[in-house]
Amino acid sequence: GENVEQHPSTLSVQEGDSAVIKCTYSDSASNYFPWYKQELGKRPQLIIDIRSNVGEKKDQRIAVTLNKTAKHFSLHITETQPEDSAVYFCAARNTGTASKLTFGTGTRLQVTL
Amino acid sequence: ETGVTQTPRHLVMGMTNKKSLKCEQHLGHNAMYWYKQSAKKPLELMFVYNFKEQTENNSVPSRFSPECPNSSHLFLHLHTLQPEDSALYLCASATESQYEKLFFGSGTQLSVL
């Protein structure tokens, strides 16, 4: 089955700096890669997603890049703000009749003043 | 509020108790999911329902019994649980059962004593 690895597990950046979270996946047939943000004590929320036919997608201060050859994708947050502090989860969906969404273990991002 | 409501928010139960978790979505979605979130582990898929029919059972022990009476409601019946079942149980819904754009509820924090 699919295996998703996420790094780093914790990340601390100063306000205004950029943050990058990286994920690798094992199933080359995976075709959909969402990112979820979970603030402390709250529900996970989808913040951005990308499909395998696209290499990069941006939404204001967040962007996701996908390298299908290397089987890795990354979340980039620019000009970080304190409200970006949360746990971020990547995920990969494999294809086929038994498609599943496999999550990474999460990255705790702390944006310090 | 996201439109996905889970009750109760917190639950403490003994190993011999029987309890139920409830999830309700007001988004007009056709698919509903149960996930388990444990500390330092990836989100684990438990069950998927599509148009009230169970389409996925991710090898979940029989002490967890799901019920989906209609596309808006999802239950998770619990009996004779183990302490290792303590976790945050998240319900999610989506337009259909392909794991895209999941809307999560706030979860039920379950403690098994």
Residue A96 pLDDT: 67
Is A104–B90 a contact, with Cβ atoms under 8 angstroms apart? no
- Residue B31 confidence (pLDDT): 93
Q: Do A105 and B90 touch (CB under 8 A)?
A: no
The span from the CA of A66 to the CA of A32, in Å, is 10
| Contact: B106, A43; criterion CB under 8 Å | yes
Residues of A within 8 A of B106 (CB-CB) are 42-43
Q: Does A52 touch chain B (CB under 8 A)?
A: no
The larger pLDDT score, comparing residue B53 to residue B107, is at B107
Cβ of residue A61 closer than 8 Å to a chain B Cβ: no
B56 contacts in chain A (CB < 8 Å): 100
Residue B41 — very low, low, confident or very high, per pLDDT cuts 50/70/90? confident
Question: For residues A79 and A14, is the Cβ–Cβ distance under 8 A?
Answer: no
pLDDT in the model for residue B2: 55
**Model pLDDT for residues B59-102, shown as the tens digit of each residue:** 899 999 999 999 999 999 999 999 999 999 999 999 977 888 99
What confidence score (pLDDT) does residue A97 get? 62
B46 touching A (Cβ < 8 Å): no
Q: Using one digit for the tens of pLDDT, what is the confidence trace for B11-39? A: 999 988 899 999 999 999 999 999 999 98
CA angle A8, A78, A27 (to 5 degrees): 45
Of the candidates A8, A4, A5, the one whose C-alpha atom is nearest the C-alpha of residue A110 is: A8
The mean of the pLDDT values for chain B is 92
pLDDT at residue number B86: 96
The answer to whether residue B91 neighbours chain A at the CB level (below 8 Å) is: no
Q: Does pLDDT of B1 surpass 70? A: no
Q: Which residues of A touch B27 (CB under 8 A)?
A: none
Q: In this complex, is the C-beta atom of A84 within 8 Å of any C-beta atom belonging to chain B? A: no
Cβ pair A103:B99 closer than 8 A: no
Q: CB distance B98–A93 less than 8 Å?
A: yes
A74: Cβ contacts below 8 Å, ≥ 6 apart: A20, A21, A22, A23, A64, A65
Q: Are strands A101-103 and A86-93 parallel, antiparallel or unpaired?
A: antiparallel
Strand partners, A41: none
Q: Mention every residue, 6+ apart, whose C-beta is less than 8 A from residue A14.
A: A80, A111, A112, A113
Q: What are the pLDDT tens digits along chain A (113 aa)? A: 789 999 999 999 999 999 999 999 999 999 999 999 999 989 999 999 999 998 999 999 999 999 999 999 999 999 999 999 999 999 999 876 667 899 999 999 999 99
